[in-house]
Chains A and B, each alone.
Chain A
Amino acid sequence: MIVSDRILSKVIDAALSLGADFAEVYVEDTRKRQFSYLDARPEKAISGHTLGAGIRLFSGTEQLYTYTNDISEMGLLRAARQAAEAMKSSHRQKAVTPEAFQNFGTVTALKTSNTDTQWQNLKVMDETARGFSSLVSQVHAEVAETFKYVQIMNSEGVHRQEGRPYLNAFARVFSEENGNKEYGYERTAFLGTAEDWHKVNFRELAQVAAGQSLRILRAAWAPAGEMPVLIDSAFGGVIFHEACGHGLETTAVAKDASVFCGKLGQKVAHESVTAVDDGTLLNSYGSLEIDDEGAPTQKTTLIENGILKSYIVDKIGARKTGYQTTGSGRRQDYRFAPTSRMRNTYIAAGKSSFDEMLKDIDYGIYAKSLGGGSVMPGTGSYNFAVNEAFIVRNGRIEEQIKGASLIGTGIETLNRIVKVGSELVLAPGTCGSSSGHIPVTVGQPPLLVSKLTVGGKV
């Protein structure tokens, strides 16, 4: 516990004193250690401590948020009174009854593993990548351990706390040939403590990044124009995350700024598409026991056989739209009011085999590994970068290409997902939106989109 029940209760009372109809305090204590390797030597060792609180009030659908890192009784009460002052209408709901809700215990100190092990892991990544090819010119590797402890109390009787330990590791491998430079990147991230580092295969991480770097270095440009695209599993799921996921968040839906507004119960995707946003997956990067509003997490079916079943709903979104919350209120840290966000979001396994989908392509692209993307939920226009891709001719994977981004619009693309493969794979990512950068996973089996616009060269 970071702040005592007694103080938090007083803060809730002070926040409600001038008439808000809901009050919430979110307190966070996060410890982070970061180690990185560059130029074949230790480059950085940084330790950090984030400590602060956010106080949120509702009056109907109006939201007031204030945050501070003065979490003394006086500091919190002053923030609560200022917040109350700024809000007008009134009534008090139930009394607060504390309820313990924790999955990883109440350890507030980050128990870092032996630092020698960390440097050894980084060295393994560096040496593996450099040994991969003489064209490798630079290796940047990093590992980080984070322990985030959150405590949430609100005027509806919720008082919950959760510790969230995260492990992160990446390798970025640069290669150079005839004056051209490129890089490959591979990352792993999941819920885990120092004892879980053994789950990471550092050698493989470096090999994947090095292999990708060299392949992109020698690839020719992608073609330009519209064509079928076979998108591989794992991080391929970024297509659903961008094309659809953000548009289902009530942050956009409540403002009528999403192409998915008013489409509940309607067909928005090809019947082969079932999509889920699931906060309950064991140790997945986007998993939590409670969301950042203190609500238990859920597994939410978003689309079932092409029919829109649910939006992604947070507390204020529920007030504005009338839909039940889906335990989806999330935020980067106490600096952000929570909004409706994704957790582990994936397209469920279908029935098609990879070869069967490949055979359907006369001329198109096989997108093997994807980069980041973005979307404008209001128009549904989304884009994402392809790191590694190949030309497909007459059902056969041929030469490697680079430099392609893919674009489309949400509902149109969902209807063009004509076949879904049978092997679902998830991959971690970081999602940036109005409540900051949060850990998520995306995922899908390989799938075939009948037509997308590929941004290559003429």
Chain B
Amino acid sequence: MSLHDTSAMDQAIDHLLELATEQKMDLEVMGAQRSSTAISFNNRKMDQFSFSETRSIGVRLIAGKNEGVAYTESLDPDSLANVLDEARANAKMIRREWISELHSPPPLPEMAELFNPKLDEVAVADKIAQAEKLESAALAYDPRITNVAYARYGDGRQQMWIANSKGLRGSYKMNVCYSYARCMAKDGDNAVMGGEYETHHDFANLDGFRIGQIAARKTLERVGAERPDTGRYTVVFENRVAETLIGMVAGYFSAKAIDDKTSPLAGKLGQKLFSDKVTLTDDPFFKHGAASRPFDDEGYPSQTTTLVEGGKINAFLTNSVLARKLKLAHTASADRSPSSDLDISPTNVIVKPGTQDAAALLAADAKVILVTDILGTAGFRGTSGDFSIPIEGHLYENGKRVRPLKDFLMSGNILQLMAGIEAVGNDALAPIGNVVCPSLLVRDLNIAGKA
């Protein structure tokens, strides 16, 4: 296998489809081929260099109401024959309440902008220089930066295939590069950390020097952090943190979670559960969104879906099976990988921006906590929406930054928080993942800190 050679995957898919025809099976095949580079620097030396090429292929076999899944990372004929045998054996055990239909559409749409051929041609030396710059820029920024715990450049290229025994066949490829720096500084006997992460589709836009400097600045802003008093506060969630909060509710819109009775939105279509300031869209076409794609994982052309309109639950996300079962609109939101069964996932989740900038939100009350980081989401219970999670940030008084805050938690319920959003900012950043959201203002949030 070499980096750009996809003939082995095409042959494997052909072979599986031939076997399916011979054996008169309904079969869906999904393939993935990935390559990546990652380079990290520490202590002004290259610390790690890695590169990879991997591929996997998975089948979903449908026999009436029965369905089975199997996958392999080996594309030789024996492994492929074996994967079909395993899927057939698995299908004997799984009987659905419905018959899944394989999609046989006209030719699949393309989305050429997901792949930048120039990114494929970047010289290794330039990638190494990028990682080196992340660290050296951070160290040069201020002598108080003691070390750069993470200075990493990486890129990845991925090609996906979907095909089925009804004649569907499509493929698309995408690539991306990223840089990440996380620095440390002394703060008395303690240490503080801060970082910056960016992803781009054009290597020329990745500025390691600037990212290193931002990471250093954010680290130094944390020096002198104190623990806030326990109480209720007005809070602004900085854009990147707001993205995490929206990510926590995105899965609620899956018709699979509705059907499984695990989503708190079950039975609440049309109800106004979010603040009227919130409009939320699932947009698989969003420029440079991490989840942009021309078609879904059943091969249906992508489409945009408004999930929340002015606070009202407008739609749930469906694949072809659950759209039929639950009598909902089909949103082409099928999600699967070679190694998993058919499911549903949001693509890019986009919050419609408001009119105020972050400064205006921070001046909304005499005392405001700006939340800049979430330190872990283990304390989020998805089924109820209850959360108790550790955060970091800054205290603002009358719109002015007063001091950094550390060692505290926020608690509440994510749907109540969504209902209580008082303002949506206009400061959304270019995506680093699949959620795009400006800063959000919320009042009366429980904060646990001192005493």
Contacts and interface: CB of A to CB of B under 8 A. Distances in A.
A119 B93 contact: yes
Contact of A456 (B43, B74, B448, B451): B448
B447 interface: yes
A405 B79 contact: no
A111 to B, nearest CB: 14
B389 interface: yes
Nearest to A227: B451
Contacts of A403: 379, 381, 386-388, 411
B262 interface: yes
Given A46-B341, A378-B149, A454-B448, A385 B71 contact: no
Interface string A435-458: 000000000000000000111111
Given A42-B93, A62-B45, A455 B124 contact: no
B87 interface: yes
Interface stretch (B13-21, B52-60, B159-167, B235-243): B52-60
A62 B70 contact: no
Contact of A47 (B48, B56, B90): B90
Given A138-B261, A224-B447, A454-B448, A381 B90 contact: no
B94 A337 contact: no
Interface string A376-405: 101111011100000000000000001111
A322 interface: no
B407 interface: yes
A108 B344 CA distance: 34
A66 B379 CA distance: 36
Interface stretch (A95-103, A145-153, A178-186, A350-358): A178-186
B49 A384 contact: no
Contacts of A10: none
A390 B153 CA distance: 46
Interface in B74-94: 74, 79, 82-83, 86-87, 89-91, 93-94
Interface in B188-208: 190-193
A263 interface: no
A371 B94 contact: no
Interface stretch (A48-56, A228-236, A270-278, A414-422): A48-56
Contacts of B46: 62
A280 interface: no
B447 A49 contact: no
Contacts of B221: none
Contacts of B54: 52, 67-69, 335
Contact of A383 (B50, B72, B79, B389): B389
Nearest to A66: B51
A70 B79 CA distance: 13
Contact of A257 (B184, B261, B386): B184
Nearest to A387: B381
A44 interface: yes
Interface in A50-85: 50-52, 61-70, 75, 78, 82
A332 interface: no
Interface residues of B, number: 79
B383 interface: yes
B427 interface: no
A31 B333 CA distance: 30
B409 A407 contact: yes
Nearest to A224: B448
B232 A458 contact: yes
A168 to B, nearest CB: 16
A5 interface: no
Contacts of B55: 69
Contacts of A62: 45-49
B316 to A, nearest CB: 17
A255 B262 contact: no
Q: How large is the interface on A (under 10, 10 to 19, 20 to 34, 35 or more residues)?
A: 35 or more
B378 A405 contact: yes
Contacts of B375: 374, 376, 381, 383
A457 B449 CA distance: 11
A456 B411 contact: yes
B11 interface: no
A385 B379 contact: yes
B448 A225 contact: yes
Given A68-B52, A86-B124, A379-B192, A405 B388 contact: yes
Contacts of A138: 260-262
Nearest to B58: A48
Contacts of B383: 174, 181-183
Contacts of A454: 448
B407 A67 contact: no
A412 to B, nearest CB: 10
A221 interface: yes
A174 B261 contact: yes
B90 to A, nearest CB: 4
A63 B191 contact: no
A51 B72 contact: yes
Q: Which of B95, B388, B411 has the most CB of A within 10 A?
A: B388
A259 interface: yes
Contacts of A140: 260, 262
Nearest to B50: A65
B50 A69 contact: no
Nearest to A252: B149
Contact of A376 (B95, B193, B387): B193
Contacts of A44: 69, 94, 341
Contact of A371 (B232, B261, B379, B407): B379
4 smallest beta-carbon distances between A and B, as pairs: A455-B409, A405-B379, A224-B448, A45-B90
Interface of A: 35, 38-39, 41-52, 61-70, 75, 78, 82, 86-87, 115, 119, 137-138, 140, 174, 176, 180-183, 216, 221-222, 224-226, 252, 255-257, 259, 335, 337, 371-374, 376, 378-381, 383-385, 402-405, 407-409, 453-458
Given A69-B1, A138-B262, 9 more contacts: A45-B68, A225-B449, A226-B450, A337-B50, A384-B379, A453-B409, A456-B388, A456-B446, A458-B232
